[in-house]
Amino acid sequence: MEVIFDKYAEVYDKWFITPAGSKVFELELNTLFELIDPSPGMTMLDIGIGTGLFALEFSRRGVTVSGIDPSEKMIAIARKRGLNTIRGEGEHIPFPDNSFDVVLSMTSMEFSGVPDRFVSEMIRVARPSAPIVVAVLNLISPWGIKRRIKGLFKKSMFNSAHFYTFWELKRLLWRHVSSVGVTSSVFINPKPSQFILSRAEAVENFGKRYLTPFGSLLVGKGIKE
């Protein structure tokens, strides 16, 4: 997996500074904040921290963030942002039991061949009653369909990813944690016009209320018992 992400490390962040990319980042981050209320002194593990874009926003709000990622090139960029990162994978998290107040995986589990093991490791390093938050790409969304079709004709990091459905993610989490809830984010189309971008929040609110299974990003949360 590290070879896949090493290849994209230097270009990964560039998309997030485009008009569409920056809006997607804002929508996804707001969804994470709805599920994880960041507070000073909170400790969080970010599995698949990548270049640290999302983790940095938690750090700025006083959260002590640690991150793991299989890509040395990705975590090198995260370290330049001042984040505590080490090389590692979700199936074998290099931290002791009961270490963190929150454990987050942001678009990382899609690349695991053993998702039950992945979630079990998240639970192991979480403290009792801590939230486990898993964000994955949605198969049944315009973005998911576009990525899968594109992958038929061009090499992409998503070719080796398993895209989830709303119901599949919920079933997986229920096998491991309690009080499971799944929401989603990013209901704007993959190539939004400026008109759509200017109304992205309204589209997001409508989608979360009426079209939850079809957002681009599925985000599940459960509590360690």
Q: What is the CA radius of gyration of the chain?
A: 16
pLDDT band at 151 (very low <50, low <70, confident <90, very high): low
Task: Find the distance separating the first CA and the last CA of the chain, reported in whole Å.
Answer: 31
pLDDT on residue 2: 52
Express each pLDDT in 165-206 by its tens digit.
999 999 999 999 999 999 999 999 999 999 999 999 999 999
Express each pLDDT in 102-136 by its tens digit.
999 999 999 999 999 999 999 999 999 999 999 99
CA neighbours closer than 13 Å in the CB half-sphere of residue 146: 7
Spatial contact of 126 and 98, defined as CB atoms under 8 Å apart:
yes
pLDDT on residue 12: 78
pLDDT on residue 10: 72
CA neighbours closer than 13 Å in the CB half-sphere of residue 177: 31
pLDDT on residue 3: 57
Q: Identify the structural domains of the chain with CATH numbers, from first to last.
A: 2-223 (3.40.50.150)
Residue 198's contacts (CB-CB under 8 Å, 6 or more residues apart) are none
- What is the pTM (predicted TM-score) of this model? 0.94
pLDDT on residue 58: 99
Express each pLDDT in 55-97 by its tens digit.
999 999 999 999 999 999 999 999 999 999 999 999 999 999 9
Question: How is residue 172 written in tokens?
Answer: 């997986």
